[in-house]
């Protein structure tokens, strides 16, 4: 079982059993999970075997290596069958036309068919008995028909070539389907774990418990997720987030399984088991996404369900009506009908969509874009409006010191800045932390330190009283002036928070703190505009700050002071302009993310609620991934219709050749399987990613 057609066969075989609650197909792993009472298990497996498939209980999906080994064994068997089929052709062309040599040719051809086509016959016969027409049924009828009119060597060669092309196609499809699973191999199977006595021992990653301390040397990969406890290093996070530049890591920073430690030894505390790392969750999410059929795939499946019986009816009409109505020889009419059957097989058409969609999902995941289903991959191309949350999406989400200005003071500038940094460093307030970090000055001892809620902090340094506070506190101290008011208003108009350092004689310095715009936000908004997509900021922040950030990022429209329900209503209103996406990271964004046509969540800074509500997760919080997802969607849509055109175009051309007696069964097989391989490899082109337009 490795394609949607065979999945459909099994679904129909199990339809008569109401006890079955759910079926979960894993085509890449060739496994099926059946949610049903234990007492119907034997009936279920008998029904699957009756549909022509082997059914074996498994405790775990077969590994990639086991699948590859089975394919190698099948390839050897088909190689032998090909040699035997060539032998049958040689006997047919060069052996004397005697009964003995005809019998020998018959035996050699039958051996080739037996080596290459038993599974095809088994599945085909089962489908025919159930009144279903699929590729295996069509090939079985074609081979039996060729043999019946005395074309044994050609029947053998057709079956061998078909089976060989099917194997090549399966391996090509696996390349797309296993692209994400291949990421799992990036995580080492063992980790160096610190023991109670301080020694380090290699332990299987699956056996490492939460809270364990693991060591990673330079050049090694992380086996698990965790938080750094000791060491400094740069880490290549591209397998998880798609970031091309290594990220500096130190104590308190998160690290992910599958990423590469670059240049320093790190120790980290495990925060997730091996089965629940970020990498494992990505793989699981993409596997689930593969099971959700995209709109084009559903259209193609419905078309194929009508197309195949129609082709069979036409072929039957040619075989019977040709001799009766047009005086054709029976063998010639039957041969022409068999050629039409093989050419018109819908395999290339059916396989074209899932391969393309899976390739697109894999390309996105490798770039740090986790798309939760083929429907979102296809629908992103239709987006007309992208609504953006401000904090953590357009901005960094962390306040930074963006401006400092010395005012009247008899003290040197360095001394004033050191006093401000010393007071700020004693406070836990985000604004104070931003000032202390931004100034980076040597700290003085602060005596009699205190904090005034809603005002700021104060303390004594070198026997002098100082305050580091907001506008209101300085006004209460009667230390404001028209000049100072003008300076503060200029900063506040830009959406900045102003803090002042003052002593008993006056205000010494002004500091402005703001949540800065991400360096990538302006580029992302420009790319969205070039794609014809309008941008709107939806934020709960005040209007002045929102407008300042929007102007800096180049965002078209701003709606500020919004509560979660307001954001939801805004998304619904924006929907009147066309398909709308929401990009956010907080719990307050979750209703809007769920209501939007497509919800994008920031996976790094985003809350669990936002990530769950979204349809697409951006693993590295880079807003440029949104236009990249739209470009990928447009390219995927184009490739899907290219594949449909290729499949139908080739079939139509060879059907016309068959009508005018210019096509043979060999050509029919090459036309059918050639079309299948063309659409598979065309779909795999998406794996290369998306270049910016």
Residues marked as catalytic = 389
Q: Reduced to 3 states, what is the DSSP secondary structure of residue 511? A: strand
Q: How many CB atoms are located within 10 Å of the residue 609 CB?
A: 16
Q: Reduced to 3 states, what is the DSSP secondary structure of residue 446? A: coil
Q: Are 521 and 537 in contact (CB under 8 A)?
A: no
Q: Are 264 and 313 in contact (CB under 8 A)?
A: no
Q: Please give the Cα distance from 433 to 36 (Å, whole number).
A: 57
Q: Reduced to 3 states, what is the DSSP secondary structure of residue 464? A: strand
Residue 33's closest CA among 10, 9, 63, 51?
10
CA torsion 634→639→640→642, rounded to 10°? 130
Residues linked to residue 534 through DSSP beta bridges, in sequence order: 385
Q: Please give the Cα distance from 297 to 281 (Å, whole number).
A: 25
The helix or strand, by DSSP H or E, that contains position 272, with its residue range, turns out to be none
Could you identify the residue written with the tokens 């059907």? Answer: 655
Is the Cα torsion angle 37, 42, 48, 53 positive or negative in sign? positive
Q: Please give the Cα distance from 627 to 620 (Å, whole number).
A: 14
Q: Please give the Cα distance from 130 to 143 (Å, whole number).
A: 20
DSSP assignment of 83-107 equals: HHHHHHHHHHHHS-SSHHHHHHHHH
Q: Are 365 and 683 in contact (CB under 8 A)?
A: no
569, with CB counted inside 10 A (0-12, 13-18, 19+), is: middle
């Amino acid at each position: 079982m490795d394609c949607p057609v065979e999945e459909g066969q099994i679904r129909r075989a199990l339809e008569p059993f109401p006890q079955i609650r759910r079926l979960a197909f894993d085509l890449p792993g060739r496994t099926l999970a059946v949610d049903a009472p234990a007492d119907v298990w034997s009936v279920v497996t008998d029904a699957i075997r009756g549909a022509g498939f082997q059914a074996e209980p498994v405790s775990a999906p077969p590994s990639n290596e086991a699948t590859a080994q089975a394919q190698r064994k099948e390839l050897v068997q088909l190689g032998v069958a090909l040699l035997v089929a060539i032998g049958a052709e040689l006997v047919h062309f060069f052996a004397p036309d005697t009964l003995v040599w005809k019998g020998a040719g018959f035996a050699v051809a039958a051996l080739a068919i037996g080596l290459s086509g038993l599974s095809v016959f088994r599945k085909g016969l089962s489908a025919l008995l159930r009144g279903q027409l699929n590729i295996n049924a069509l090939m079985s009828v074609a081979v039996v028909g060729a043999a019946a009119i005395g074309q044994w060597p050609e029947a053998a060669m057709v079956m061998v070539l078909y089976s060989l092309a099917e194997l090549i196609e399966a391996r090509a499809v696996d390349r797309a389907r296993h692209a994400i699973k291949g990421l799992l191999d990036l995580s080492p199977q063992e980790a160096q774990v610190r023991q109670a006595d301080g020694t380090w021992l290699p332990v299987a990653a699956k056996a490492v418990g939460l809270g364990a301390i693991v060591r990673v040397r330079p050049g090694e990969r992380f086996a698990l997720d965790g938080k750094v406890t000791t060491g400094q290093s740069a880490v290549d996070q591209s397998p998880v987030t798609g970031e091309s530049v290594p990220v500096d890591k130190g104590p308190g920073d998160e690290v992910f399984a599958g990423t590469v430690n670059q240049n320093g030894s790190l120790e980290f505390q495990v925060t997730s088991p091996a089965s629940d790392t970020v990498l494992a969750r990505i793989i699981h999410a993409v596997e689930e996404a593969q099971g959700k059929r995209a709109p084009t795939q559903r259209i193609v499946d419905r078309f194929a369900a009508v197309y195949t019986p129609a082709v069979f009816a036409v072929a039957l009409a040619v075989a019977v009506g040709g001799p009766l109505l047009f005086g054709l020889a029976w063998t010639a009419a039957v041969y022409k009908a068999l050629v039409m059957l093989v050419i018109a097989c819908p395999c290339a058409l059916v396989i074209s969509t899932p391969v393309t969609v899976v390739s697109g999902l894999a390309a996105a995941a490798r770039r740090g874009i986790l798309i939760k289903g083929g429907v979102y991959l296809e629908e992103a191309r239709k987006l007309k409006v992208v609504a953006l949350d401000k904090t953590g999406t357009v901005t960094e989400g962390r306040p930074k010191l963006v401006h400092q200005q010395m005012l009247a003071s008899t003290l040197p500038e360095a001394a004033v800045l050191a006093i401000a940094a010393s007071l700020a460093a004693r406070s836990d307030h985000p604004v104070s932390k931003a000032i202390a970090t931004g100034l980076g000055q040597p700290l003085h001892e602060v005596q009699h330190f205190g904090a005034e809620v809603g005002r700021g902090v104060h303390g004594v340094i070198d026997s002098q009283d100082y305050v580091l506070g907001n506008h209101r506190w300085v006004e209460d101290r009667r230390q404001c002036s028209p000049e100072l008011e003008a300076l503060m208003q200029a900063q506040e108009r830009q959406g900045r928070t102003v803090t002042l350092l003052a002593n008993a004689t006056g205000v010494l310095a002004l500091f402005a703190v703001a949540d800065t715009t991400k360096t990538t936000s302006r580029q992302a908004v420009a790319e969205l505009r070039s794609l014809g997509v309008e941008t709107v900021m939806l934020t709960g922040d005040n209007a002045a700050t929102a407008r300042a950030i929007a102007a800096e990022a180049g965002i078209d429209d701003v709606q500020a002071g919004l509560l979660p329900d307001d954001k939801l209503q805004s998304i619904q209103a924006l929907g009147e302009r066309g398909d709308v996406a929401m990009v956010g990271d907080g719990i307050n964004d979750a209703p809007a993310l769920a209501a939007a046509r497509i919800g994008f969540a920031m996976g790094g800074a985003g809350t669990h609620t936002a990530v769950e509500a979204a349809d697409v997760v951006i693993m590295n919080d880079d807003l440029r991934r949104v236009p990249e997802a739209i470009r990928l969607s447009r390219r995927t849509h184009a490739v899907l219709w290219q594949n449909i055109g290729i499949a139908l175009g080739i079939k139509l051309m060879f059907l016309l050749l068959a009508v005018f007696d210019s096509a043979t069964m060999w050509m029919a097989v090459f036309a059918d399987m050639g079309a299948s391989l063309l659409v598979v490899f065309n779909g795999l082109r998406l794996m290369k990613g998306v270049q910016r337009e």
